[in-house]
Amino acid sequence: MAIALAVPPLALAAQARSAFRRIVMTNRGRPSIVLCASGTYGEDYNSDQVTIGILGDSLAAGLGADDVSGTPSALIGTGVAARTQRPVRIVNVARAGSGASDLARQTDRVLAQGPLDFAVLVVGANDAAFATPGSVRDRTLKSSATNLGQAIAGLKQNATEVICCTCPDLSVAPALPVPLRWILRLSAQRLAQLQHAHILRNGGIPVPLAELACPAYAANPDLLSDDRFHPSSAGYQVSSAAVIDEITHLLSPTREGVTIGRAPRPTAAQSSPAAPD
């Protein structure tokens, strides 16, 4: 790791350009706009519909999945519908290549399609991957986390529960060569910490992908797609499971005060800590 930190920034930038060019070429012909198609799941259930918006980058769109059924849209929609016995409408506005600065536009798009019960945000990997070393990198990561917090605040004004997957551990991706892989691991860890604080500050619910999904990716290569960077359908099952758990918990009839997909708001005693500097 210490050796990696000593690599000249220009050499790391060249590694990054080469690695991500290969990833893009591998995924050519797999437009995320097709994978993140919106739809309704569990239409046969005779109960109140739950509406879930999905925003973010290629990990929210499902790039790398074998087909639409293995994307976050389908997995979350079918999973929540089956566990709650309620129809679930998914509105997915995610786009591959997006960063946290794109969330404002995505928020406008998703809210234009009607009120939401839940919003699921998956963003940060692109911001961490292209953050340069040194003080500029930290400013970039802080800006990314701030943009995420602003998006959460905007969504919460519309009575939406917001679930945010924090930045994954990029070092589990074989597509990234060493030493770039270790540098990006540090950036991803830092961004996840900043995101976590901003999520709590703005009333969101954090889902730490680096802890809940990435160890499985590192142990099982079949959980990654053929670009060796994005999850496969099996990999998306792992990352979507925690989101499904959070939503079904919030919808549980045993939770006091829960209505059609909206959980009780935190009390003053549950106020969130400030984001780290």
Low-confidence residues of the chain, pLDDT below 50?
1-4, 257-275
Assign residue 209 a region (left: φ > 0; alpha: ψ between -120 and 50; beta: otherwise): alpha
What is the reported pLDDT for 208?
97
Question: Does the pTM exceed 0.75?
Answer: yes
Q: What integer pLDDT is reported at residue 272 of this predicted model?
A: 41
Classify residue 256 as left (phi > 0), alpha (psi -120 to 50) or beta. beta
The reported pLDDT for the residue numbered 263 is 38
The pLDDT of residue 62 is 93
pLDDT score, position 267: 33
pLDDT at 22: 86
CA 106/CA 89 separation, integer angstroms: 17
User: CA triplet 38, 208, 160: central angle to 5 degrees?
Assistant: 45
CB contact at 8 A, 251 and 261: yes
pLDDT at 37: 77
Pairing of the two strands 161-166 and 118-122 = parallel
Task: Output the six-digit token pair for 255.
Answer: 């939770």
Which residue is associated with the tokens 């969101």?
204
Contacts of 252 (CB under 8 A, 6+ apart): 258
| Separation between Cα atoms, residue 110 and residue 16, nearest integer Å | 32
pLDDT tens column, 27-84: 877 665 557 778 999 999 999 999 999 999 999 999 999 889 999 999 999 999 999 9
The tokens for 202 are 């703005």
pLDDT given for residue 26 in this prediction:
86
DSSP assignment letter at 160: -
Please give the Cα distance from 97 to 236 (Å, whole number). 18
User: What's the token pair of residue 15?
Assistant: 């590694």
The reported pLDDT for the residue numbered 34 is: 58
